[in-house]
Amino acid sequence: MAEFMAIALFVSICIALMSGYPVAFTLGGMALVFASIGVLTGTFDIGYLHALPNRIFGIMNNQTMLAVPLFVFMGVMLEKSRVAEDLLESMSRLFGTLRGGLAISVCVVGALLAASTGIVGATVVTMGLLALPTMLRRGYDPAISTGVLAATGTLGQIIPPSIILVLLGDVMSSAYQQAQLRMGIFSPKTVSVGDLFIGSLIPGLLLVGLYILYLVVVAIAQPKKLPALPKEELGPIEWGKLIGSLLPPLLLIGAVLGSILAGYATPTEAAAIGALGATLLSLAKRQLSFQRLKETAYGTTEITAMVFLILIGASLFSLVFRGFGGEALIEDMLRSLPGGVLGAFIVVMLVIFLLGFILDFIEIIFVVVPIVGPILLAMGLDPIWLGVMIAINLQTSFLTPPFGFSLFYLRGVTPASVPTSTMYKGVIPFILIQAAMLVVAYLWPELVTWLPNKVYGS
């Protein structure tokens, strides 16, 4: 009976979320409803709920989670400081005379924005508004144009500093400690947000390189789809303006990631550097005003409140789910799958991929990963590798038709003349590239683990 309640709880939450109810209230409210039913039927021990105040207090005192509002502030501030406009204009002049040069410029600028803002929706919408009209006007194939915009927008999930990696790093740290305790290791090692940042660098840069390689191949094989632009139309390359638009965000990214890589700052401290740097950059570009600062503060507060409210709801859900024996049920199921660790890993990744169609990454990280993470890690998987693989998987899910969130964001700024089916066609090559990256990272896990081991010497 208790196991049936656990399954019913999870299914009910998925149905409620697909119906459009707010995530945080759905998680917490549905969990309380099922807990009440469980108490009445004698299938749930209310003592599990006594741990909720301690969990909420732990969230409030979690220093790692302080990085969330700081990185969000950094992203929102940069979004409003014309960094994207200046970068795209300069890069277009640099690469525009090449076949596919405008699409390559979008890839480069999208990667820089991803590393600067870490917010998928903001990157997709900003790049869609700025680049898509120009690409269509210059005769670029609509499918490839929308595909490259949607794909580069999702890079904010994997290229650090990323909000998803901050949240995932905190959850993986807890899951890794639980896994070690299950294995009888009572002085457990830890995994940090910084580990995931460093581990995701090489896969993230490889994805950018593969995107560009695909565009170069298409430009050579089918030049009509990605035409070169006349030099007279673009005007001369203004090297001073190019350096002026490229250097500040690069310095900001270098300061944030460099301070972590060098061991001078924790991710939370690096986030504070990023927030201050974004403010100074906006001031230097004469884009900072009291109104803009107010809008940034409001935007940061709104996103941060949503994240933490979902985290509280997810904590309540996990307690009730565990009280019904759901965690043990999933562990038994994964351990009984054919193929051992590989079978369990494939099933978990498939479930996360499918859930990415209906749930935002925040819900998946806070609800699903705490349940399956300790089980997979107890089977011997590397925590940094698993965290990065989950991030790439979610990135792929967010790009996959018909429910990919990135496609919804882009659809909102795409002209009606470009049908949705064209957008779906355009993202397929990029989905295949990301799927190939997952396979390659599985076959050669050193792509993820080599740099953290090199930096930390472990």
Respond yes or no on whether the N-terminal peptide bond of residue 419 is cis (omega within 30° of 0).
Answer: no
pLDDT over 70 at 274, yes or no: yes
Distance set, CA 239 to CA 94, 245, 398 (Å): 9, 10, 36
- Its sign, for the CA torsion 271, 164, 10, 26, is positive
Q: How high does pLDDT run on average in the chain? A: 83
For the CA atoms of 64, 70, 74, 80, what is the dihedral angle to 10 degrees?
Answer: 140
Angle (CA) 359 418 427, round 5°:
50
What local confidence, expressed as pLDDT, does residue 13 receive? 80
**Secondary structure class of 339 (helix, strand, coil):** coil
Q: Are 158 and 125 in contact (CB under 8 A)?
A: no
Residues near 74 by beta carbon (within 8 Å), at least 6 away in sequence: 116, 117, 118, 161, 256, 271, 274, 275, 277, 278
Confidence label for 232 from pLDDT (cuts 50, 70 and 90)? low
List pLDDT tens digits, range 102-154. 888 888 888 887 776 666 666 777 778 778 888 888 888 899 989 998 888 88
Q: How many CB atoms lie within 10 A of CB 420?
A: 14
Task: Please report which helix (H) or strand (E) contains residue 384, including its range.
Answer: helix 383-397
- Look at 274-288, 404-418, 431-445 and tell me which has the smallest mean pLDDT: 404-418
- Look at 16-20, 314-318, 383-387 and tell me which has the smallest mean pLDDT: 16-20
Percentage of the chain modeled with pLDDT above 90:
12
List pLDDT tens digits, range 156-191. 788 887 788 888 888 888 888 888 877 777 667 778
What local confidence, expressed as pLDDT, does residue 138 receive? 81
What local confidence, expressed as pLDDT, does residue 186 receive? 67
Confidence label for 432 from pLDDT (cuts 50, 70 and 90)? very high
**Tokens at residue 367, please?**
């609800």
Burial of 255 (0-12, 13-18, 19+ CB in 10 A): middle
What's this model's pTM, rounded to 2 decimal places? 0.84
Nearest residue to 101 via CA among 209, 205, 206, 219: 219
Confidence label for 457 from pLDDT (cuts 50, 70 and 90)? low
pLDDT over 80 at 86, yes or no: no
Alpha-carbon radius of gyration of the chain: 23
* Backbone conformation region of residue 415, classed left if phi is above 0, alpha if psi is from -120 to 50, else beta: beta
pLDDT over 60 at 292, yes or no: yes
**Tokens at residue 416, please?**
């009606």
What local confidence, expressed as pLDDT, does residue 211 receive? 93
What local confidence, expressed as pLDDT, does residue 96 receive? 67
**Tokens at residue 48, please?**
């599990």
List pLDDT tens digits, range 263-272. 788 888 888 8
